[in-house]
């Protein structure tokens, strides 16, 4: 049930999947998300890319491969909505700009997150992947994503785990910050495996 206690999660998911509020999306509305009652882990990323839009399967791309590698989970576990809920900042592919995909539609998270997240009372850990999710749920940080990720232990106490976007385009970010693979990823795996076992 959601915060009002009167709308089942299945109904909220059906409503979100039927959303056509953004009439100017380049490939049209196709909300991609997964969730089921009992999920303990929630991933809030950015927005689907073209491959995810085409298949309707969240994180079904190279970014998803990298995220699963960081989490050390296979696709069967990752795509089991009763274990892992996936609700991005923008549920639909937003289109392409000069330097990659456009930002998630700003109206999407305010429209869908409050009720959907309220319908997932068993979630104990939320992975905030990339700047848009972190900005919404953690607020600003003088060092942006790097600062939040490096301070992950402080956020973990509140049930948040900030991560960089796992896009192959972020290889340079990773190379310049060896502490991420050495310290943050092992901690992420411990948290994820403790919840999913």
- Footprint of ligand SF4 on residues 23-42 (CB under 6 A)? 29, 31
Cα–Cα distance, 73 to 79 (Å, whole number): 10
Instruction: Indicate whether 108 belongs to the interface with ligand SF4 (CB under 6 A).
Output: yes
CB of 53 to ligand SF4, least distance (A): 11
Stretch that binds ligand SF4, among 15-23, 60-68, 78-86, 154-162 (CB under 6 A): 15-23
Please select the residue that binds ligand SF4; options are 12, 92, 123, 149, rule is CB under 6 A. 92
Q: Which strand (E) or helix (H) includes residue 100?
A: strand 100-101
Q: Which is nearer to ligand SF4, 90 or 162 (CB)?
A: 90
Q: Which strand (E) or helix (H) includes residue 162?
A: strand 160-163
Cα–Cα distance, 128 to 134 (Å, whole number): 6
From residue 154 to residue 193, the character string flagging contacts with ligand SF4 as x (rule: CB under 6 A) and all else as - is ----------------------------------------
Please select the residue that binds ligand SF4; options are 1, 7, 15, 22, rule is CB under 6 A. 22
Strands 100-101 and 96-97: antiparallel
Q: Which is nearer to ligand SF4, 53 or 148 (CB)?
A: 53
Write the CA distances from 151 to 40, 57, 96, integer angstroms.
22, 31, 31
Q: Which residues contact 3 (CB under 8 A, 6 or more apart)?
A: 114, 115, 118
- Applying CB under 6 A, the residues found at the interface with ligand SF4 are 19-22, 29, 31, 90-92, 105, 107-108, 111
């Amino acid at each position: 049930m959601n915060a009002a206690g009167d709308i089942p999660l299945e109904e909220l998911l059906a409503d979100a999947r039927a959303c056509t509020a953004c009439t100017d999306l380049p490939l049209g509305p196709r909300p991609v998300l997964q969730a089921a009652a009992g999920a303990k882990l929630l991933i809030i990323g950015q927005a689907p890319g073209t491959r995810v839009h085409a298949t309707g399967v969240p994180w079904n791309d190279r970014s998803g491969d990298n995220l699963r590698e960081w989490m050390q989970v296979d696709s069967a576990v990752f795509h089991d909505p009763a274990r892992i809920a996936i609700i991005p900042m923008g549920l639909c592919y937003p289109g392409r700009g000069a330097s990659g995909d456009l930002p998630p539609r700003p109206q999407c998270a305010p429209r869908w997150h409050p009720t959907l997240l309220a319908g997932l009372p068993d979630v104990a850990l939320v992975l905030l992947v990339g700047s848009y999710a972190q900005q919404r749920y953690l607020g600003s940080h003088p060092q942006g994503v790097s600062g939040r990720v490096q301070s992950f232990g402080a956020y973990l106490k509140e049930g948040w785990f900030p991560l960089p976007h796992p896009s192959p385009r972020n290889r340079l970010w990773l190379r310049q910050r060896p502490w991420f693979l050495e310290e943050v990823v092992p901690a992420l795996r411990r948290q994820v495996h403790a919840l999913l076992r």
